[in-house]
Chains A and B, each alone.
Chain A
Amino acid sequence: MKTIDRISRNLFERNDTLLLVDFEKSKSHIIEMKWHESSPLFTDNSYGKTALNYFYKGERLGVIPFQLEFLLAVFKESESILNLENDWDDNGSPTYDIQTWKAAIHFLIDYAVTLLHDFNRIIDKPKIYNGPRGSIDILWDYASYTFLVNIEKNGLNASFYADNATNTQRIRGEFTLDNFKKTLIPFAVQL
């Protein structure tokens, strides 16, 4: 397996094609790879295990660097949210829209990849839960911090709250999912 410094490597998605670009070479080394659900793991002889696909019912929802492989299990587990039927809590709660759930998945991939590529940090493993009134919760509940992101039912807006274990530090905020600055959101990392 060849190791490539993260700064010199970029992954680009274009439709169903993944471009792997190595800027360290004199000429950009570009590999194009067509994705198939039957082969979710991208393996290249030059680069070794590089990235994984996450598919839901045949649709590719994202590409995950291998360092974040643990997210696949998180996503798979969260698929059960979509199976909840109307009145699933015996209190009139509605079903969950697939768009809301997809928005949560896309947010989490985007957020985790940004922390990995731009800040060299691997996020802690979160839980994805059924939230109130058709919303989706993403929770990090660790000894040193708690961080909850809520994706609203429309899949357009989100709000969050985080604090440290002693509750001497608290942060809260809201953002729109299609336009937000990730550095203004807490890092889900135990330091």
Chain B
Amino acid sequence: MSFPIELIPDTDKLFYRIHTQYIDYTESDAKKKIKPGAFDPIPKPDGTEMSVDWSKYSTSIETQNRARKPERVGVVSFVVGEVRSQPTLLKVEHRPTLNQAHSIIFDVLPNANNPEIRINLRRICQWEIEI
């Protein structure tokens, strides 16, 4: 069964898992305790992409439960409009697989390990399930 590709509105959210190994527990600030490495756009031939779940078809708990070890991950969200606008300026597309919520945040310009993208994503994310 294949799902149709839909347009994702700016007002919707995207859920993303953060593994406990990417948390700096010496930091008390909820945002600053997330290490930038938690945001990991994977290099592709035509850019980089990062898998997320669209809030239309997933809850934050469902996103957490898709992890191999759900007890070891938290979940943050991004507002789609903030991902698409300055200064982040990334693209968001619905790419359903067996998981209808599956979507990607992508950039057409590959950059080794993307320090800029990772800082910006860390800045605009919000905890949904904090670890």
Contact = CB atoms under 8 A, between A and B. Distances in A.
A151 to B, nearest CB: 9
Interface residues of B, number: 23
Interface string A113-129: 00000000000000101
A152 B69 contact: no
Given A89-B19, A89-B21, A129-B24, A152 B112 contact: yes
Contacts of B40: 132-133
A110 interface: no
A150 interface: yes
A82 interface: no
Contact of B68 (A84, A91, A127, A163): A91
B37 A90 contact: no
B62 interface: no
A: interface residue count bin? 20 to 34
A160 B115 CA distance: 6
Nearest to A148: B115
Q: Is the interface of A mostly helix, strand, loop or mixed?
A: strand
Interface string B25-44: 00000001001110010000
A180 B66 CA distance: 43
Interface of B: 19, 21-22, 24, 32, 35-37, 40, 67-69, 72-73, 87, 111-113, 115-116, 118-119, 123
